[in-house]
Amino acid sequence: MKLTLDIWRQKGASDAGRFETYTVEANEHMSFLEMLDVLNQELIGSGKEPVAFDSDCREGICGMCGFVVNGVPHGPVDNTTICQTHMRHFHDGERLRLEPWRAAAFPVLKDLVVDRSAFDRIIQAGGFISVRTGSAVDSNAMLVEKNKSDRAMTNAACIGCGACVASCPNAAAALFTGAKIAHLGLLPQGQPERTDRALNMVAQMGKEGFGHCTTIGECEANCPAHIKLEAIAQMNGDFLRAVFAKREESAGGGAG
Amino acid sequence: MSVATKTVTAPPSFSRVGVLWASTVGKKALMALTGILLSLFVLGHLLGNLQLYFGRDSTGAYLINKYAEFLHHNKPLLYGTRTVLLVAVLIHVIAAFQLQLGKGAARPVEYHQKESVNSTVSSRYMFWTGVVIFFFVIYHLLQLTLGVVNVPGFREGDVFHNVTVGLRTGVAPLFYVVGMIGLGLHLRHGLYSTFQSLGAGNPAVSQWALKWAAVVATVIALVNLSFPLAVLAGLVKG
Ligand code: HEM
Ligand code: FES
């Protein structure tokens, strides 16, 4: 199958960037990224700069890959990363436009590669959870309601790819931050720091320059990890509760 | 014995209102609360106006005029309500503007091509339907509260006369139709989003809210629209 690709080329952060058009011969068994590998081999062969894009596991589990194909983050296959999207979903002669995530908090580094360290800083702002070290705890010592453990696991599935931000008309990071806050906030191990975690992660999300959530739901529809809008409500609830529950640290608490 | 001393510096004090206002999440919660308040006003206003359809009582006075007199009778209540509404509008509108500016800054370079996978006109244009409501409210107050536009022979306190004349004068029908379409769209998404903004995300609740927000918004818009349409059609006249 023969494809025409309009790919965003940008040498670095200070370059304005532009679309350039390429043609590539692929077959339907290739993954989307393998198709780009083929294109890059040809570019290298003819002495041109290959197209930079992020990838690592190519199994849909690490969250490294991601760009916008014809206006949809991770391309046309619902709830699937671009690395797990195969060329059989496209047809011969199709024209595809490849564009990087667009958000102030995700500056373009090169071509389709953006800097997502804003997500790392949101996670860091969440801090640690208190767990006892030493010998392993009896596995059933801490009971977790089935429903809550299911929801915690659903939210823990977030791979941090950034498609939520990319798809959001407001470039909000609410689904990502919500997933992180929800997966710890639902478990008993996450309770001691729950208040500060919600306050600090939401504050960091703002500092990074992400937009606000308007409950449109583009993020949920584009998320390859099936994170639901409910995660955002959980963040909102935890944050609001934290604002009112927050107590100043006191010197009390006994000798120790 | 040595006594260890430790200088304790007080942590910076934590301003709850400041933290709420400084974050997008807190601002949305304030918009949700003020939105609920404004929606309750819209509902009460609509129910009161239904008296337009009930004509006169046994003494020959129009019910809607008696109702207006009753509302204006208790001055502390009248001005109290007006103040609360004004403050709610200010919070709602200032937050809306700040969030809208933040949204622009969050995506300085637009996509060359972007598809909507999961959005509605109502959810995408909340800010702009809000702006429509804002200008509608200003016009509405100038017209029927102050009587300075589009009410030939405005009579203070004679609501029945002002409405039946005003709603068919000049650009009034246009303002009312556009304004109520704006209000309907705004409430269709707003009444649903409110639950999410305030932390109620249980899918069963969200699905319920999504459905009923659409029903309530449609009913509110249609009943409000019925007033100018009934006046234009000559169904209520003085
Ligand atoms: C009758 C007057 C109004 C009512 C009843 C009303 C009601 C609501 C409600 C219930 C919400 C949902 C809050 C949420 O999503 O959490 C909302 C959101 C919003 N309102 Fe209003 N509103 C009114 C007037 C206005 C005005 C005058 C503006 C002016 C610009 C405005 C702008 C907005 C915006 C931008 C949002 C969306 C917030 C967001 O999700 O980004 N509204 N409104
Ligand atoms: S490369 Fe790991 S998820 Fe796509």
Number of domains in chain A: 2
Chain B residue with the nearest C-alpha to that of A96: B113
Contact A216 B123 (CB under 8 A): yes
B198 contact A CB<8A: yes
Average pLDDT over residues A114-134: 94
Are residue A53 and residue A123 in the same domain, yes or no? no
A237 and A144 both lie in a single domain: yes
Mean pLDDT value across residues B196-220: 96
Residue-level pLDDT at A141: 85
Residues B17-44, mean pLDDT to the nearest whole number = 97
**For the CA of A157, the nearest ligand:** 2
Q: Which ligand is nearest to the CA of A82?
A: 2
pLDDT, one tens digit per residue, over B93-122 is: 999 999 999 999 999 999 999 999 899 999
Q: Give ipTM to 2 decimals.
A: 0.91
Residues A104 and A123 in one domain: no
How close, in Å, is residue A205 to chain B by CA atoms? 9
Q: A134 with A231, same domain?
A: yes
pLDDT for B47 equals 97
- Looking at residue A248, its pLDDT comes to 76
Domain span holding position A207: 117-255
Asked if B101 has any chain A CB less than 8 Å from its own CB, the reply is no
For range B167-179, the mean pLDDT: 96
Residue A103's pLDDT band (boundaries 50, 70, 90)?
very high
The tens digit of pLDDT for each residue in A39-55 reads 999 999 999 999 999 99
Greater confidence, B14 or B83? B83
Shared domain for A124 and A231, answered yes or no, is yes
Q: With bands split at pLDDT 50, 70 and 90, how would you rate the model's confidence at A136?
A: confident
Checking if the pLDDT of A37 tops 60, the result is: yes
B20 in A contact zone (CB under 8 Å): yes
**Domain's final residue, options A79, A110, A141:** A110
Ligand 1: distance of its center to the CA of A178 in Å? 23
CATH number for the domain including A69? 3.10.20.30
Res A247: pLDDT? 83
Asked if residue B122 has its Cβ within 6 Å of ligand 1, the reply is no
Judgement on whether residues A140 and A215 belong to the same structural domain of the protein: yes
Q: Is A157 in the pocket of ligand 2 (CB under 6 A)?
A: no
Q: What would the two tokens of residue A76 be?
A: 């046309």
Q: Which pLDDT belongs to residue A133?
A: 83
Q: A95 and A132 share a domain? A: no
Torsion, CA A188, CA A193, CA A196, CA A202, rounded to 10: -50
> Nearest CA to A68 among A161, A205, A1?
A161
Check if the beta carbon of residue B118 is closer than 8 Å to that of residue A217: yes
Residue-averaged pLDDT of chain A: 95
Looking at the structure, tell me whether residues A154 and A216 fall in a common domain. Answer: yes
Residues A127 and A98 in one domain: no
Beta-carbon contacts below 8 Å between A and B? 154
Q: What is the pLDDT of residue A164?
A: 98
pLDDT confidence of residue A146: 95
Q: Are residues A67 and A194 in the same domain?
A: no
Residue A138's pLDDT is 85
Task: Write down the pLDDT at residue B1.
Answer: 46
Structural tokens at position B88: 């709610």
What's the pLDDT tens digit per position in B45-54? 999 999 999 9
Domain boundary, last residue among A50, A80, A110: A110
For ligand 2, the distance from its centroid to the CA atom of residue A129, given in whole angstroms, is 27
Together in a domain, A188 and A153: yes
Give the mean pLDDT of A134-147. 88
The CATH number that applies at residue A200 is 1.10.1060.10
